[in-house]
Amino acid sequence: METSKKHKIGIVCYPTYGGSGVVATELGISLAEKGHEVHFISYSQPFRLDVFCQNTFFHEVSVPDYPLFDYTPYELNLTSKLVDVVLHEGLSLLHVHYAIPHASAAIQAKHILETYGLHIPIVTTLHGTDITLLGKDKSFKPVIEYAINKSDAVTAVSEDLIKETHSHFRIQKEIKMIPNFIDLNLYSQEVDKKLRSKIAKDDEKILVHISNFRKVKRVEDVIKIFNNVQKVVPSKLLMIGDGPDRVRAERLCRKLKISEKVKFMGKLKSVEEFLSISDIFVLPSETESFGLVALEAMASENAVISTNSGGLSEVNIQNETGYLSDVGNVQEMSENVIKLLSDEERLEQFKNNAFKHAQKFNLPSILPLYESLYFNVIKTK
């Protein structure tokens, strides 16, 4: 298939810390490096796009504060911005990440652009909570369903998310699975000994959790697991990120008298160096369509202890790269961490397996899947 032609691609994403924003931004940057012209459209600069990248452009959606509105109509501002950017930059495609409001705004923009005699193909990527959480809220159902069905192509980041989408919505469109990816060059398998010595003693193991500390992440389970582990294995826990449940997690550490062993690091722009010094990544989420952050940890040779919810079993392989348990089974997850940390040979084996499995999701293998999808929808426009 001829995919070498260069295009002008619009990417709509959330700019904040979070897997979907990371994937959308890394995808855009990689497409730009391959010679495509990439226009990011969002309400602020995506956090990984703060350095100069050739062939990339950023268009900010500004949301004026009118006293008339009780609720700011962001979707309308986004729709108008999309129409404007497609018209004036001559885009050949819009790739939107998240069904609402991004896909629904893009579909509306597409209808408006038709009145200008322009056809713009829309590629929608489903990332998770738009389906697994918002999808359960019936008030969004018609909009999400319409946005998916009217997109020219739809992708989801795991097989489980495709299944979930079909179980919540009446979908007439084929949903193609394109898994999330990582750029393996960014991750180191070498332990930064100087950094490690600042966090833990030589005989201590390091556990790490990274998230936005939302309810769905069950950060208190991380603390409970670590509390059980540290009674048996000398260890430290790194809690990276910030969000609504951080205070509860900190409070629990104080109650359990383990605050000295748990370091809350807040939001970090780059997590790679901390992943390189840790042994086990803990992700006890209620649900996770994919769990990109677990894959990032695996790229740095971390074994993973997670729940078996959503698409996590497509990333973390039971008894190979880590262990998976039912949501809330803190006891089993604690025992699994202890089992791994007490058996050096098994731990090394799992770390190596994790790295090998992560290689399957390396950027150069996944990028052509998107390019070929773009090529197909542009060709048929």
Give the nearest distance from C-beta 56 to ligand GMT in angstroms.
20
Nearer to ligand GMT, 20 or 230 (CB): 20
Which one among 128, 241, 284, 322 touches ligand GMT, defined by CB under 6 A?
128
Give the Å distances, CA to CA, from 33 to 91, 128, 344.
Answer: 17, 28, 41
Widest Cα–Cα separation across the chain: 69
| Contact flag: residue 235 with ligand GMT (CB under 6 A) | no
Q: How far apart are CA 250 and CA 368, in angstroms?
A: 43
Q: How far apart are CA 77 and CA 64, in angstroms?
A: 9
* Other C-beta atoms lying within 10 Å of the C-beta of residue 195: 12
Q: How far apart are CA 73 and CA 61, in angstroms?
A: 12
Q: How far apart are CA 322 and CA 337, in angstroms?
A: 9
| Contact flag: residue 309 with ligand GMT (CB under 6 A) | no
Stretch that binds ligand GMT, among 17-25, 73-81, 99-107, 258-266 (CB under 6 A): 17-25
Give the nearest distance from C-beta 245 to ligand GMT in angstroms.
12
Stretch that binds ligand GMT, among 12-20, 190-198, 224-232, 266-274 (CB under 6 A): 12-20
| Residue labelled with tokens 């390091």 | 206
Q: At what angle do helices 74-89 and 104-114 cross, to 10 degrees?
A: 50
| Contact flag: residue 290 with ligand GMT (CB under 6 A) | yes
Give the Å distances, CA to CA, from 341 to 82, 238, 246, 345, 352.
Answer: 51, 16, 26, 9, 15
| Contact flag: residue 129 with ligand GMT (CB under 6 A) | yes
Stretch that binds ligand GMT, among 104-112, 124-132, 233-241, 364-372 (CB under 6 A): 124-132
| Contact flag: residue 96 with ligand GMT (CB under 6 A) | no
Nearer to ligand GMT, 262 or 292 (CB): 292
Residue 239 has which token pair?
């809690």
| Contact flag: residue 23 with ligand GMT (CB under 6 A) | yes
Stretch that binds ligand GMT, among 13-21, 53-61, 331-339, 341-349 (CB under 6 A): 13-21
Stretch that binds ligand GMT, among 67-75, 122-130, 140-148, 248-256 (CB under 6 A): 122-130
Q: What pairs with residue 92 in β-bridges?
A: none
| Contact flag: residue 15 with ligand GMT (CB under 6 A) | no
| Contact flag: residue 287 with ligand GMT (CB under 6 A) | yes
| Contact flag: residue 157 with ligand GMT (CB under 6 A) | yes
Stretch that binds ligand GMT, among 165-173, 210-218, 268-276, 319-327 (CB under 6 A): 210-218
Number of residues that bind ligand GMT (CB under 6 A): 22
| Contact flag: residue 316 with ligand GMT (CB under 6 A) | no
Ordered DSSP codes for 152-200: SEEEESSHHHHHHHHHHS---S-EEE----B-GGG---S--HHHHHHHS
Edge to edge, the sheet with strand 37-42 lists 56-60, 37-42, 8-12, 93-97, 122-126, 153-156, 175-177
Instruction: Please name the amino acid found at residue 378.
Output: I
Give the nearest distance from C-beta 74 to ligand GMT in angstroms.
16
Stretch that binds ligand GMT, among 170-178, 183-191, 202-210, 287-295 (CB under 6 A): 287-295
Which one among 95, 110, 127, 236 touches ligand GMT, defined by CB under 6 A?
127
Please state whether beta strands 153-156 and 175-177 pair in parallel, antiparallel, or not at all (unpaired). parallel
Which one among 173, 214, 246, 267 touches ligand GMT, defined by CB under 6 A?
214
Q: How far apart are CA 341 and CA 229, in angstroms?
A: 9
| Contact flag: residue 292 with ligand GMT (CB under 6 A) | yes
The residues binding ligand GMT (CB under 6 A) are 14, 18-21, 23, 127-129, 132, 157, 180, 212, 214, 216, 287-292, 310
